[in-house]
């Protein structure tokens, strides 16, 4: 099985979010849905999606404000899906940092193609940035496959999200060394990332739940309190 990407749909019209949700689930994505901006911002922080589909007309805020907020600390791909069809609306959304803009109504295959492209760009940048490494890293029962972007524990694929994989990949690349919270946040979420450790902590809790037998007493990734995280030194 391949690593499932987690998509957050931010959309107040339930028939549209149900439709997008069904299409994505059928195509192998994990799906989260937020019906308003407040709920969306909270889900972004607590669930760390790999991609966001964003409607602009929300009941409690303008979708562009959500985009601004996300872009103040993250490079995570955002596709705007909107009924606003003026050239200016598109230019503004793209200027703020949307990866793509789809006009309503839209077709299923178009939506899927744009999502795949946005995720492929993220993965390509994964190969070009500091996380890049080839081959495998192993320590104990843990193996990071840098070519396939997968992590195995005792031979089982642990299905990390893209961001979880990036964190583990980076720690594995520098195994034995402490990587500071700031360094990890900058490397994973971009140079403009907020100095806020909450998202990193949520990701780490999810990673430990997936790779550690006892997340409270980790064997592979250690917390250096007040400093950062360290991966057990490897055999390769
Ligand atoms: Ca709407």
What is the distance between the alpha carbons of residues 160 and 164, in angstroms, rounded to a whole number?
6
Question: How far, in Å, is the centroid of ligand 1 from the Cα of 192?
Answer: 29
Listed in sequence order, the residues at least 6 apart from 138 whose beta carbon sits closer than 8 Å to its beta carbon are 144, 234, 235, 236
Tell me the H-state helices in the chain: 14-26, 37-47, 63-71, 87-96, 108-128, 162-173, 181-189, 198-211
Q: Which percentage of the chain shows pLDDT scores above 70? A: 90
181-225 confidence digits (pLDDT tens): 988 988 887 766 665 677 788 889 989 999 999 999 999 999 999
Options 3.40.1190.20, 1.10.10.10, 3.30.70.360, 3.40.50.150; CATH for 129-231 is 1.10.10.10
Ligand 1 centroid to residue 83 C-alpha, Å: 8
In angstroms, the Cα distances linking 130 to 78, 127, 135, 182, 199 are 22, 8, 15, 15, 20
Tell how far the Cα of 56 is from the centroid of ligand 1, in angstroms.
6
Instruction: Give, in degrees to the nearest 5, the angle at Cα 193 between 189 and 196.
Output: 105
* CA–centroid distance, residue 207 to ligand 1 (Å): 34
Over the stretch 16-44, which tens digit does the pLDDT of each residue have?
Answer: 999 999 999 999 999 999 999 999 999 99
Domain boundaries, the chain: 6-123, 129-231
Q: So what's the pLDDT on residue 1?
A: 39
The CATH superfamily label for domain 6-123 reads: Response regulator (3.40.50.2300)
Ligand 1 centre to CA of 45 (Å) is: 22
Residue 57 DSSP symbol = B
CA of 179 to the centre of ligand 1 (A): 41
Q: Ligand 1 mean position to 58 CA, how many Å?
A: 5
Task: Output phi, psi for 195, to 5 deg.
Answer: -80, 65
pLDDT in tens, 40-50: 999 998 888 98
Tokens 């966001």 correspond to: 52
Cβ atoms of 74 and 49 within 8 Å: the answer is no
Cα 55 to ligand 1 centre (Å): 6
- Tell me, in angstroms, the distance from the centre of ligand 1 to residue 14's CA: 9
Regarding predicted confidence, which is higher, 75 or 11?
11
Contact (Cβ atoms closer than 8 angstroms) between residue 158 and residue 152: yes
CA of 4 to the centre of ligand 1 (A): 27
Q: What's the CA-to-centroid distance between 13 and ligand 1, angstroms?
A: 6
Mean pLDDT (the chain) is: 88
Quote the ligand 1 centre to 91 CA distance (angstroms). Answer: 19
Distances from the Cα of 26 to the Cα of 1, 36, 86, 180, angstroms:
15, 24, 32, 39
The pLDDT tens digits of the residues spanning 145-167 come to 988 888 999 999 998 877 889 89
What is the 88 CA–ligand 1 centroid distance (Å)? 18
């Amino acid at each position: 099985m391949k690593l499932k990407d987690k998509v957050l749909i931010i959309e107040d019209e339930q028939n549209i979010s149900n439709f997008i949700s069904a299409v994505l689930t059928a195509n192998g994505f994990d799906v989260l849905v937020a019906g308003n901006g407040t709920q969306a911002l909270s889900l972004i922080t607590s669930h760390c999606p790999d991609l966001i589909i964003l409607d602009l007309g929300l009941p409690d805020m303008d979708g562009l404000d959500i985009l601004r907020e996300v872009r103040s600390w993250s490079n995570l791909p955002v596709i705007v899906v909107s009924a606003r069809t003026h050239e200016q609306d598109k230019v503004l959304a793209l200027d703020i940092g949307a990866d793509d803009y789809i006009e309503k109504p839209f077709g299923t295959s178009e939506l899927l193609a744009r999502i795949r492209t946005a995720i492929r760009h993220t993965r390509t940048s994964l190969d070009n940035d500091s996380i890049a490494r080839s081959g495998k890293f192993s320590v104990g029962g843990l193996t990071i496959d840098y070519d396939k972007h997968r992590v195995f524990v005792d031979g089982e694929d642990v299905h990390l999200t893209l961001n979880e994989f990036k964190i583990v990949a980076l720690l594995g690349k520098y195994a034995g060394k402490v990587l500071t919270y700031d360094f990890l946040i900058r490397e994973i979420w971009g140079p403009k990332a907020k100095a806020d450790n909450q998202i990193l902590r949520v990701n780490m809790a999810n990673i430990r739940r997936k790779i550690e037998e006892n997340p409270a007493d980790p064997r592979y990734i250690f917390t250096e309190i007040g400093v950062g995280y360290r991966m057990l030194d490897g055999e390769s």
